[in-house]
């Protein structure tokens, strides 16, 4: 907006003013203001004293911009107009608080804290929530320093740093693949990790150079431990804020074990969104580490290790190919894909693809037809078209889908954007770490009251609050620890988000790529829709006939009541209304191609099947698919269709023949249940280990009889 004086205000960002014959951009600097105004109040003799900062500025708009930006960075109520008569009152108040403060214990309200997270981005985001943090660097490891106000008279002088994921892992060369067995007790042995920055190889143990490529460009996790140890000695309290799931719990447990000799006040804090509100709530209510959850993680790791190593070793010997591998979760995926591929091959014949002005369909013609027949069919369609029968129109109430969980998000990201599961997970991870979405590893559709409030605000901003219907969705889980669906943490559409990032209003310099924005938009729309009223949609149903074939058509043709479709589009096919008025319809295009009755599975289908069969967990879906690709068992087409290779088919067949009772669908599901029982405290971890050990013993009997066994091994993992 240009006002009378020739001033241009760029909303929430800057103003442009005329100065002589030049144009000048003026923009406030909130970071400098925080540092400067902070000096007016003191942590004086133990208390925070009252302080006064006065800002002089002739352009009122700049004050408004500064105010808005400060609100995003710190706890800030806004500027007040200064009345000259009030100044004496302020001065009295300052002197008063300074005098009062002098009598108190110097250290009563201030304590020092170390906050440990997993990722450097998360460390930076948390540190930046409380003003621009100071940075210290210890041997490549960044430690942020900031002041965290917990409540009115309590602050933490906090150091925040990241572990870069797990700090220790199961060793390979002790006991049974890393687990010592001593009189019925199982003792997993862990050590630091060496990661090679050159070849990417990760090895358990401390090395001077990469054991694979000899590169000296390595990272050893003990270097993080050394920094943490030093900081642990400096601080009053340690808070471990690793991700809110079993992997995060194990990281927290390891850090606690490692730092206990140096500091006795170690707590676990957990938050499902990296926002100031969630963080402060967590640090005000620290918890102890959930040991059962840690034991479940260890059980999963050991089960994966034992079963993976044993079955892989057997395969390597059998095929004489030392790179083969099989394992829990990854093998059911391979078996499904191969089964589907075989069905596909068996019924490979011809498919008619047609297009009715944008409505695309396909018809399997069979595998017993010849060229002559195909030509005859084409002639019928071209000259007369499909015969239309049984056309019906009906109204349907369509409810919005629930907000995303990991599996549904991976499916849609694959279908809409062609993202692989691991790509979608990586993008979601960074959206989470940047504080833009809730934790993305979840199998719950639950929506918290915070989430519902975000939806309400969004819809009223859009002027459609009448479509708001609050829904909590999955209430199956209990209490404050309950998981939540994947949702945005702010009422910002993707466009608003981009604008805010550009203007620096998010308090962070976020490098968002187009893919980040697309995934955020998908999550945002799906979530807002889940808090909206249903839609009323008109559907058309008809039968098309051509020669001996029947094609069912059923599609939405018109929206009668918008409801949630206002933000979450459903594709409409109004062109199908034509079927009501004619007896025959000619497709706008047809083609006959080689194809099968059923298509091969897509990544989206495989993820959905994992979830439906209770196999794997949100943290393992992507890795399980990747493992099959890495071993050369399947390839993904451009459209993310899983195509098993010759090797994949051979491995699937042999694994099914001998190991269905170990890595088959049912066995894997039973093992997941066993791990859940450990987490719920229903079974002791040593008992769980000994059941898994039975599986290993059974595999070794196959080794003993030199793969002449014709029967499948099967071990009952189920708990009575």
Active site residues: 439
What's the min distance (Å) between Cβ of 193 and Zn ion?
13
Q: How far apart are CA 484 and CA 300, in angstroms?
A: 23
Q: Which is nearer to Zn ion, 197 or 598 (CB)?
A: 197
Q: How many other CB atoms are found less than 10 A from the CB of residue 282?
A: 19
Tokens of 141: 């490891």
Q: How far apart are CA 283 and CA 298, in angstroms?
A: 27
Contact (Cβ atoms closer than 8 angstroms) between residue 322 and residue 631 = no
Tokens of 258: 């490692």
What's the min distance (Å) between Cβ of 313 and Zn ion?
24
Q: How many other CB atoms are found less than 10 A from the CB of residue 70?
A: 22
Q: Which is nearer to Zn ion, 213 or 580 (CB)?
A: 213
Q: Which is nearer to Zn ion, 214 or 589 (CB)?
A: 214
Q: Which is nearer to Zn ion, 15 or 196 (CB)?
A: 196
Four-residue CA torsion sign, 609, 612, 616, 622:
positive
Q: How far apart are CA 431 and CA 403, in angstroms?
A: 16
**Residues with Cβ < 8 Å from 4, sequence gap 6 or more?**
none
Q: Which is nearer to Zn ion, 140 or 612 (CB)?
A: 140
Contact (Cβ atoms closer than 8 angstroms) between residue 180 and residue 187 = yes
What's the min distance (Å) between Cβ of 199 and Zn ion?
3
| Residue 356 backbone phi and psi in degrees, to 5 | -100, 80
Q: Which is nearer to Zn ion, 199 or 391 (CB)?
A: 199
Q: H or E element: which one contains 68?
A: helix 60-73
List Cα–Cα distances, 528 to 456, 472, 500, 564, 719, in angstroms.
9, 12, 20, 8, 41
Four-residue CA torsion sign, 472, 474, 479, 482:
negative
Tokens of 103: 């009598």
Tokens of 72: 């995003």
> Exposed e or buried b for every residue in 179-196, given b needs 16+ CB within 10 A?
beeeeeebebebbbbbbb
Q: What value does the CA radius of gyration of the chain take, rounded to a whole number of Å? A: 31
Q: Which is nearer to Zn ion, 210 or 692 (CB)?
A: 210
Q: How far apart are CA 475 and CA 30, in angstroms?
A: 42
Q: Which is nearer to Zn ion, 204 or 540 (CB)?
A: 204
What's the min distance (Å) between Cβ of 218 and Zn ion?
7
Q: Which is nearer to Zn ion, 196 or 381 (CB)?
A: 196
**Chain centroid, CA 435 distance in Å:** 12
| Residue 415 backbone phi and psi in degrees, to 5 | -70, -45
What's the min distance (Å) between Cβ of 206 and Zn ion?
15
What's the min distance (Å) between Cβ of 442 and Zn ion?
35
What's the min distance (Å) between Cβ of 170 and Zn ion?
20
Name the region of 353 (left: φ>0; alpha: ψ -120 to 50; beta: rest).
beta
Closest C-alpha to 471, from 408, 398, 530, 522: 530
Q: How far apart are CA 525 and CA 509, in angstroms?
A: 24
What's the min distance (Å) between Cβ of 424 and Zn ion?
28
Q: Which is nearer to Zn ion, 79 or 201 (CB)?
A: 201
What's the min distance (Å) between Cβ of 220 and Zn ion?
13
Name the region of 435 (left: φ>0; alpha: ψ -120 to 50; beta: rest).
left
Q: How far apart are CA 547 and CA 160, in angstroms?
A: 72
What's the min distance (Å) between Cβ of 216 and Zn ion?
10
Provide the binding-site residues for Zn ion, judged by CB under 5 A.
Answer: 196, 198-199, 201, 210, 212-213, 215
């Amino acid at each position: 907006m240009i006002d009378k004086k020739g001033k241009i205000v760029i909303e929430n960002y800057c103003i442009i003013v005329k100065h002589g014959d030049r144009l000048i951009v003026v923009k406030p600097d909130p970071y400098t203001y925080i540092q400067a105004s902070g000096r007016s109040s003191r942590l004086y003799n133990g208390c925070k004293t009252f302080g006064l900062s006065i800002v002089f500025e002739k352009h009122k708009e700049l004050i408004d911009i500064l105010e808005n930006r400060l609100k995003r960075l710190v706890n800030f109520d806004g500027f007040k107009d200064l009345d000259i008569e009030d100044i004496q009152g302020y001065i009295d108040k300052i002197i008063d608080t300074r005098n009062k403060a002098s009598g108190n214990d110097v250290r009563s309200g201030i304590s020092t804290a170390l906050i440990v997270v997993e990722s450097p981005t998360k460390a930076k985001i948390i540190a930046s929530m409380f003003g621009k943090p100071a940075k210290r660097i210890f041997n490549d490891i960044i430690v942020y320093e900031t002041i965290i106000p917990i409540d009115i008279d309590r602050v933490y002088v906090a150091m925040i740093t990241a572990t870069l994921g797990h700090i220790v892992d199961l060793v390979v060369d002790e006991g049974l693949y890393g687990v010592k067995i001593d009189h019925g007790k199982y003792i997993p042995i862990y050590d630091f990790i060496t990661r090679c920055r050159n070849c990417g190889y990760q090895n358990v143990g401390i090395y001077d150079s990469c054991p694979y490529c000899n590169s000296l460009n390595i990272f050893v996790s003990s270097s993080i431990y050394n920094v943490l140890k030093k900081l642990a000695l400096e601080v009053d309290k340690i808070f471990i804020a690793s991700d809110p799931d079993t992997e995060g719990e194990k990281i927290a447990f390891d850090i606690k074990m490692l730092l206990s000799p140096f500091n006795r006040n170690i707590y676990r804090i957990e938050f499902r969104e990296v926002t100031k509100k969630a963080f402060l709530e967590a640090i005000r209510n620290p918890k102890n580490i959930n040991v059962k959850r840690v034991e479940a993680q260890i059980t999963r790791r050991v089960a994966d290790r034992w079963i993976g190593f044993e079955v892989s070793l057997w395969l390597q010997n059998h095929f004489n190919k030392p790179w083969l591998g099989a394992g829990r979760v990854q093998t059911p995926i391979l078996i499904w894909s191969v089964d589907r591929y075989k069905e596909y091959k068996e019924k490979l014949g011809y498919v008619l693809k047609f297009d009715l002005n944008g409505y695309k369909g396909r018809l399997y013609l069979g595998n017993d037809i010849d060229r002559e027949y195909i030509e005859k069919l084409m002639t019928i369609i071209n000259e007369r078209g499909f015969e239309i029968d049984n056309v019906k129109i009906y109204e349907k109430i369509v409810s919005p889908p629930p907000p995303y969980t990991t599996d549904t998000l991976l499916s849609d990201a694959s279908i809409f954007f062609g993202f692989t599961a691991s790509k979608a997970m990586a993008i979601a991870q960074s959206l989470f770490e940047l504080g833009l979405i809730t934790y993305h590893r979840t199998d719950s559709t639950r929506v918290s009251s915070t989430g519902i409030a975000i939806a309400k605000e969004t819809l009223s901003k859009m002027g459609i609050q009448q479509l708001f219907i609050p829904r909590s969705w999955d209430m199956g889980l209990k209490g404050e620890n309950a998981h939540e669906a994947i949702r945005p943490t702010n009422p910002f559409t993707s466009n608003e988000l981009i604008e805010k990032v550009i203007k620096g209003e998010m308090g962070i310099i976020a490098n968002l790529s187009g893919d980040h924005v697309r995934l955020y938009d998908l999550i945002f729309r799906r979530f807002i829709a889940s808090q909206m009223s249903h839609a009323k949609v008109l559907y058309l149903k008809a039968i098309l006939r051509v020669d001996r074939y029947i094609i069912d058509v059923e599609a939405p043709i018109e929206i009668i009541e918008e409801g949630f479709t206002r933000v979450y589009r459903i594709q409409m096919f109004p062109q199908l209304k034509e079927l009501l008025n004619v007896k025959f319809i000619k497709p706008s295009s047809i083609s006959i191609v080689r194809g099968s009755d059923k298509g091969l599975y897509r990544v989206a289908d495989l993820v959905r099947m994992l979830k439906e069969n209770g196999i794997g967990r949100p943290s393992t879906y992507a890795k399980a698919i990747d493992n099959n690709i890495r071993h050369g068992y399947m390839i993904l087409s451009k459209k993310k269709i899983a195509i098993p290779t010759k090797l994949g088919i051979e491995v699937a067949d042999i694994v099914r023949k001998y190991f269905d009772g170990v890595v088959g669908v049912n066995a894997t599901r039973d093992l997941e249940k066993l791990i859940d029982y450990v987490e719920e405290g229903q079974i002791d971890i040593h008992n769980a280990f000994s059941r898994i050990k039975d599986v290993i013993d059974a595999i070794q009997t196959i080794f003993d009889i030199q793969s002449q066994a014709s029967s499948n091994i099967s071990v009952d993992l189920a708990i009575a």
